[in-house]
Amino acid sequence: MIATIKNNDTNYRIDLSKPLDISIPLFGNFTNVNAWYLDQPRIEPHTEGEFIGKVSEGASTNFNDIWFNPHAHVTHTECVGHITEEFHSVNKNLNRFFFLAELVTIAPEKYQNDFVISRKQMQYALGDKKRNAVVIRTIPNLKDKLSRQYSNTNPPYLLEQTAEFLAARNVEHLLIDLPSVDKEKDNGALLAHNAFWNTTGKIRKNATITEFVFVPNYINDGTYFLNLQVAPFENDASPSRPVLYKILEE
């Protein structure tokens, strides 16, 4: 199915039958990706008295309880409410779902005792392109990102000026294949989050950050249309399923 999407007075054609899903599923066991010092998520049959919500145990339906934290266990999209005293819901703030996006691959560079994505790297990767969304794939890009245990590993992150650059370029939606755009242990500074949402000025309420994506190596860098959908949780963050679509040549 071919669809035409208009963005900034330009029409783009995409094939809706060929989605490129870049989300990480929730497995509910020890193989699940994990961060922030939490136990593994759980997907278990609901039990109540003698009732076990599992067909193989005699129930008429499979009836599972799911226990997880969106920030720690799954691809998720968050809004500024993640770091503000005032409540903001990503379900309310994200009210459009198709965006012109640029996928870039970056090798984090050494900075003090960390590995980071610098402003210079981002400027080089984007060039003069103007995009609604930017998807960052870091290398090495191995399949173990689907199940990696990130707690106490000091993963790469964005420098504050990198996030400032993206905000200045009016990038509304930032997606990355790491547990956070910020340093794992920074005493709560959250410099990149604050810079991207401009919390010291006019807050960018419609801007979102999506973490824990996984972009397979067969998907080439370049321009795509991004379909970004979240589960309708009234929360600062929600599990999400970002999907890329190639733009068809005329």
Q: Tens place of pLDDT for every residue, the chain, 250 residues?
A: 888 888 888 888 999 999 999 999 999 999 999 999 999 999 999 999 999 999 999 999 999 999 999 999 999 999 999 999 999 999 999 999 999 999 999 999 999 999 999 999 999 999 999 999 999 999 999 999 999 999 999 999 999 999 999 999 999 999 999 999 999 999 999 999 999 999 999 999 999 999 999 999 999 999 999 999 999 999 999 999 999 999 998 6
What letter does residue 248 receive in the DSSP assignment?
P
Whether residue 34 contacts residue 71, with contact meaning beta carbons closer than 8 Å, is answered with no
Give CATH for domain 2-24+75-246.
Answer: 3.50.30.50
> Residue 66: what pLDDT?
97
Going along the chain, which residue ranges are E strands? 2-7, 10-15, 20-21, 42-45, 47-48, 51-52, 64-67, 76-78, 98-106, 109-111, 114-117, 133-138, 157-158, 173-176, 208-211, 222-230, 237-246
Secondary structure class of 93 (helix, strand, coil): helix
30 vs 108: CA distance, rounded Å: 28
Whether residue 3 contacts residue 119, with contact meaning beta carbons closer than 8 Å, is answered with no
Nearest CA-CA partner of 179 in 198, 152, 207, 206: 152
Q: Is 222 left (phi over 0), alpha (psi -120 to 50) or beta?
A: left
207 vs 167: CA distance, rounded Å: 9
Domain ranges of the chain: 2-24+75-246, 25-69
